[in-house]
Amino acid sequence: MKAFFIDRYGKQNGHIGEVPDPSVGVHDVLVQVHAASVNQLDSKIRTGEFKLILPYSFPLVLGNDLAGIVVGTGSAVKRFKPGDEVYARPPEGRIGTFAELIAVNENALALKPSNINMAEAASIPLVALTAWQALVETGHLKKGQKILIHAGSGGVGTIAIQLAKHLGAFVATTTSTPNVEWVKALGADVVIDYKQQNFESELHDYDVVLNSLGADVLEKSLKVLKPGGQLISISGPPTAQFAQEQGLSWGLRQIMRLLSSGIRRKARKQGVGYSFLFMRANGTQLQEITTLIEAGVIKPVIDRSFPFELTADALRYVEQGRSKGKVTVKIK
């Protein structure tokens, strides 16, 4: 089959070529990939940023989101059958959606929402699961609470704003000048133009902050939280608890404890909590998201779509960090 893969770590590595078809385990579903989406995570994996916690072997097919059609199932699979339209974020140990075929554990899959196309469906899983696990599972966001979602025009931000409004929260977000009205239309109640305003002086007494930006924004975010609030970061630094959940070595747990010690100490001093979130594949949660999409509560936001042969260009475009919503790749 054809796939976009890397032979070693490095920013410019990656090309389309032939690789063996995936092997299908008893709990696996073989999916013919129709569309995939591109995430910053793909670039970070390509450069080796996660090689200590995700020790991949080469050649490595990239890609963390898919939508497609089931073409085969393992002997123990009960929930899916050939012909089903599905979507998923595969488990992090078995990525590879920039390919014609992929075998995915059935627990990571969900039926594709019936009211959107393959490209729109492919744009959803990673960012929507990230938003769900941050707001619902970690943040326990409730009606009437206040949340600041950084980078509201990005992939995670566009979905998180819509989910937070559905949960009944008051939503503030940050974005650049050209996107202010656009993120208001997504549902944001307050929009901070970071080119003109400092969010930490404008916002106060928030219950939750979802951070996807750098260390300086992370630290400033503590100032907008009220006592008992939660700072949830998907961009790090990772914690020892995360390392333990990943089954990493004692040494790596100590490194991550050290990396996050500064922000955890400052959070304690402010009387707030700090959590690092590394989203996980979850077909059950994705099925909940399907229900919201079919009800019109969450709408996919796609900036641009690329043909499969231009996957490298799609990665470069996402690395620039200026896309509004998601970038997709049409495989079939």
Token pair belonging to 102: 């992929």
CATH number at residue 73: 3.90.180.10
Asked if residue 314 has pLDDT above 90, the reply is: yes
Residue 238 placed within a domain: yes
Separation CA 155–CA 213 (nearest Å): 13
Tens of pLDDT, residue by residue over 160-212, are 999 999 999 999 999 999 999 999 999 999 999 999 999 999 999 999 999 99
Residue 320 placed within a domain: yes
Check residue 60 and give its pLDDT: 97
End-to-end CA, the chain = 12
Number of domains making up the chain: 2
Check residue 6 and give its pLDDT: 97
Separation CA 106–CA 75 (nearest Å): 12
H-type alpha helices, the chain: 40-47, 118-122, 125-132, 155-166, 180-186, 199-202, 215-221, 240-245, 250-259, 261-270, 283-294, 311-319
| CA–centroid distance for 209 within its chain | 16
For 154, list phi and psi in degrees, rounded to 5.
-80, 180
Check residue 132 and give its pLDDT: 98
**pLDDT level of residue 321 (50, 70, 90 thresholds):** confident
Tens of pLDDT, residue by residue over 238-251, are 998 888 888 889 99
- Percent over 90 (pLDDT), the chain: 91
Asked if residue 53 has pLDDT above 90, the reply is: no
CA distances from 306 to 61, 137, 270, 310, 311 (A): 18, 33, 45, 6, 7
Residue 237 placed within a domain: yes
Residue 292 placed within a domain: no
Token pair belonging to 275: 């959590």
Tens of pLDDT, residue by residue over 21-48, are 999 999 999 999 999 999 999 999 999 9
- Mean pLDDT taken over the chain: 96
Same domain, 132 and 98: no
Residue 286 placed within a domain: no
CATH number at residue 257: 3.40.50.720
Find the domain containing 133 and state its range: 126-276
Check residue 55 and give its pLDDT: 85
**pLDDT level of residue 277 (50, 70, 90 thresholds):** very high
**pLDDT level of residue 295 (50, 70, 90 thresholds):** very high
Asked if residue 52 has pLDDT above 90, the reply is: no
**pLDDT level of residue 83 (50, 70, 90 thresholds):** very high
Same domain, 114 and 166: no
